[in-house]
Structure 1
Amino acid sequence: MSDAANPYDASHIQMLEGWEAIRRRPGMYIGSTSQRGLHQVVFEVVGRAVNEIVAGRAGSVDVTLTPDGGVRVADDGPGVPVETSGDAGSPGLEALLTQMQFGAEPRGRHAVATSLFGIGPCVTNALSSRLRAEVRRQGIGWVQEYTRGVALTPPTSTGPTTRSGTTIAFWPDTDIFETTDCSFATLTERFQELAFLNQGLDISLTDQRPPDGPRSVRCRFPGGARDFVIFLDAQRGASVHPDVIGFEREDPRMAGTVEVALRWQDSHGERLQSYANSAPTPCGGTHTAGFREGVAAAVNAHLRERRLLAEAAPDLSADQIGDGLTAVVSVKLDRPEFSGSTHGALGGATVRAGVAKAAREHVGTWLERHPEQASAIIGRIIQGTGQN
């Protein structure tokens, strides 16, 4: 085909930046315009507030679903810096809400991953018909309003205040989303995960929409992954062996930490939930492979030492040992490696080796120190294999 028949040149290229790019292709930034994408714009704002707590600058986050379809996220941190006040902090309020910088959010083991690409509230602002930001910082209150990502006014002082923190209220754009009805259950589940995986986190969710009155839930779990396993077992309603085996370990080789909790129950099937930097890894990865490898090694070593397996018999497989197991595996890494752009599976050979070593040592030690419970667990596993 000749150039004359297809007159495409540089004049046809559109350069889209900031809010305009996000509104033109929202799926590139939040995954979809369905309810899943709607929840993602909530997480983009919540993530900033949660990381204030993780960094030790705030104590709690309050999320509210308002009757008019809005979402309000408030924290009690020091407040976002405000450029017009001469505040040299970074990023400032307007930069936070308008500048699209991939990876701008905190990263590494000391940050909670809730944003798809680390852009944060800028995405939410662009995809909201209206957004109102209130900042209480250094004794002064500030407010700024936006419409579809565009500021209506500069940040305006509201006078002295004795409080501190940041509140961002937004109304998802009905021209963008298939629905603007957030699911209380879905948001609760994700906030519970974050609180289980970050022991200092205190996050509440209030739904003001029900006609019969508000409903709310507070997510705070000092027991971390141990509490998570107890919660998961309670959901299944199965009888369980009493103790949760749990441990945390830092491993310089994988530049991060691993937290694991597990417990066997008197039912079939394995329930293993895994996370990397507090983000779910539904396809597993090297951390789950290392966990299963380490637990299998510990159990088989215990069986061999007590001659509970015939000398010529092969080791039990990870599948056999995992039957009836509920487990949570959470790694927090400085430089996580993922397989694929969706981050569904974690990579990294050092992660597998580090988690396997930690699981083998800690589970093995627990079995040695709790002989009665170990006997019950081993007996259940052997019974399930048909080798008793």
Structure 2
Amino acid sequence: MMENQFKETNMGEASLIESIRLRPAMYTGSTEGKGICTMIEHFILDLMSSAKMEEVDIELASDGTVHITSSAIDVDSLIKKLGLLKKAGNPGTQKNILDLAVILGLSRSAKIEVYNGGKIHTLLSQNNLFEISIEEGYLREDLIIDFIPDSEIFKTTDIDFEYLCSVFRKTACLNPQIRINFSDNLHNDFQQCIFHYPKGIFHRMDLLIMERSVNEPSFRLDIEKEHNGFQYKISIALPDYTATAYIQSFAGDTETYNHGSLVDGVKKGIIRFIRDYTDQEVCTDNSGLILIASVSGMQLTYGGSLKIRLEQPEIEKAAEEIVYKELTDYMESDREKVRKFAERFKDKVN
């Protein structure tokens, strides 16, 4: 018989799962189908960071089950997470298992199996009650997860394949180590996509150049640097024509639509370089500049009403210095390209 662990064994444990069910939109952003996609996205990101997952297969099954499997994963950390579910009353513990608890709390039923050293660790969840067991045996995969989103929580449990594809494409671009195999058996037409981009955001720049320019860009610079615990990836390109600038930026796995410190720093680095090189006032807004930038690190601070604008002066300063130095170094290797790059910006009012 399944133990009512959340409601009888420990009142502290009840608070986490009950708060998730009482306020699901706080954890998924929506109770529409997009909320299910967010739940899946956060869980995959959590497995990547906490269990060092490098490859995952995700299937939308015909019966509405979300099926997730992986063998490129740290199973010890997963087993630890299962054990932490019994200590969910501790605030520090709750943070470590939050994405897993969201899956359990917002699913009609769930089954998680983790294989390690001839033993299968199994979590079964039904109507928000769960039990954990350990038995000897063998699994073909190190991790097998099946869950059915709760139709009493979500207004629709129809998961949009194309939207999840866009989510996984972004995830794979920002995390070059991951390979995501995604298939759809839920809808009438079977679909399958693989997302694996070893070049990361630089692959995204390749695609943008193909979309926006007939020829190779007149200037292209890819930068990857680590500074004071933050990892910077910055790609700058100028196509062979003048157009409206295109800018895309990320902080961690969040797209910063209002940009902020990272983009401000990159622009300052470009402007400072061109001022030193041409002794002219410059502007980056109408040159056709294509810029994709990302920063990752332990502590990222967001501001603005929607908390999607990066606000960290140290990141802005670092980005400025990195871009300025890289452009200066580039000038030594190809002065002609740098001259053409600077020509596109000079004699404009900043």
- Tell me the TM-score normalized by structure 2: 0.84
Find the aligned partners of 2:141 and 2:192 in 1 and give their Cα distance.
Answer: 23
What is the CA-CA distance between 1:366 and the residue it aligns to?
1.9
For the 8 Å contact 2:182–2:192, the answer to whether it is kept is yes
What is the CA-CA distance between 1:237 and the residue it aligns to?
5.9
Which of the numbers 250, 253, 267 marks the counterpart of 1:275? Answer: 250
What is the CA-CA distance between 1:238 and the residue it aligns to?
5.6
Deviation readout 1:111-152 (Å, 9 max, x if unpaired): xxxxxxx8212112111111111111122223332123211x
Which of the numbers 139, 144, 157 marks the counterpart of 1:167? Answer: 144
Find the aligned partners of 1:191 and 1:184 in 2 and give their Cα distance.
Answer: 10
Q: Go from structure 1 to structure 2 and tell me whether the alpha carbon gap of 1:269 and 1:103 turns closer, same or farther (over 3 Å shift).
A: farther
Partner residue in 1 for 2:230: 256
Find the aligned partners of 1:341 and 1:123 in 2 and give their Cα distance.
Answer: 25
Deviation readout 1:292-314 (Å, 9 max, x if unpaired): 1112222332323xxxx5xxxxx
Which of the numbers 35, 38, 54 marks the counterpart of 1:37? Answer: 35
For 1:258, give the aligned amino acid: Y
Find the aligned partners of 1:155 and 1:239 in 2 and give their Cα distance.
Answer: 60
Q: Percent identity?
A: 20
Q: Go from structure 1 to structure 2 and tell me whether the alpha carbon gap of 1:282 and 1:93 turns closer, same or farther (over 3 Å shift).
A: farther
What is the CA-CA distance between 1:91 and the residue it aligns to?
2.5
Which of the numbers 83, 92, 96 marks the counterpart of 2:82? Answer: 92
For the 8 Å contact 1:139–1:164, the answer to whether it is kept is no
Tell me the secondary structure at the aligned position of residue 206 of structure 1: strand
Partner residue in 1 for 2:313: 349
Find the aligned partners of 2:185 and 2:50 in 1 and give their Cα distance.
Answer: 25
What is the CA-CA distance between 1:351 and the residue it aligns to?
1.0
Find the aligned partners of 1:96 and 1:231 in 2 and give their Cα distance.
Answer: 46
Which of the numbers 307, 330, 341 marks the counterpart of 1:366? Answer: 330
Written as runs of structure 1 = structure 2, the 5 A alignment for 1:28-107 is 28-51=26-49, 55=52, 58-76=53-71, 77-79=73-75, 90-92=80-82, 95=85, 101=91
Q: Go from structure 1 to structure 2 and tell me whether the alpha carbon gap of 1:347 and 1:229 turns closer, same or farther (over 3 Å shift).
A: same
Which of the numbers 173, 195, 217 marks the counterpart of 2:172? Answer: 195
Which of the numbers 293, 303, 308 marks the counterpart of 2:278? Answer: 303
Tell me the secondary structure at the aligned position of residue 91 of structure 1: helix
What is the CA-CA distance between 1:380 and the residue it aligns to?
4.2
For the 8 Å contact 1:49–1:74, the answer to whether it is kept is no
For 2:209, give the aligned amino acid: D
Partner residue in 2 for 1:215: 191
Q: Go from structure 1 to structure 2 and tell me whether the alpha carbon gap of 1:302 and 1:163 turns closer, same or farther (over 3 Å shift).
A: farther
* Match status 1:234 vs 2:229: no
Written as runs of structure 1 = structure 2, the 5 A alignment for 1:322-337 is 323-337=287-301
Find the aligned partners of 1:131 and 1:125 in 2 and give their Cα distance.
Answer: 6
For 1:344, give the aligned amino acid: I
For 2:223, give the aligned amino acid: F
- Tell me the TM-score normalized by structure 1: 0.77
Q: Give aligned pairs, total.
A: 335
For the 8 Å contact 1:35–1:182, the answer to whether it is kept is yes
Deviation readout 1:286-335 (Å, 9 max, x if unpaired): 1111111112222332323xxxx5xxxxx112324xx3122211111222
Q: Go from structure 1 to structure 2 and tell me whether the alpha carbon gap of 1:63 and 1:34 turns closer, same or farther (over 3 Å shift).
A: same
Find the aligned partners of 2:270 and 2:89 in 1 and give their Cα distance.
Answer: 46
Find the aligned partners of 1:70 and 1:98 in 2 and give their Cα distance.
Answer: 26
Tell me the secondary structure at the aligned position of residue 41 of structure 2: helix
* Match status 1:130 vs 2:109: yes
Partner residue in 1 for 2:133: 155
What is the CA-CA distance between 1:204 and the residue it aligns to?
1.7
Q: Go from structure 1 to structure 2 and tell me whether the alpha carbon gap of 1:162 and 1:122 turns closer, same or farther (over 3 Å shift).
A: closer
Find the aligned partners of 2:177 and 2:163 in 1 and give their Cα distance.
Answer: 22
For 2:129, give the aligned amino acid: V
Find the aligned partners of 1:237 and 1:65 in 2 and give their Cα distance.
Answer: 37
Q: Go from structure 1 to structure 2 and tell me whether the alpha carbon gap of 1:319 and 1:191 turns closer, same or farther (over 3 Å shift).
A: same
For the 8 Å contact 1:206–1:215, the answer to whether it is kept is yes
Deviation readout 1:219-246 (Å, 9 max, x if unpaired): 1111122112112333446654166311
Cα-Cα RMSD: 3.0
What is the CA-CA distance between 1:195 and the residue it aligns to?
1.6
Partner residue in 1 for 2:283: 317
Q: Go from structure 1 to structure 2 and tell me whether the alpha carbon gap of 1:99 and 1:47 turns closer, same or farther (over 3 Å shift).
A: farther
For the 8 Å contact 1:172–1:180, the answer to whether it is kept is yes
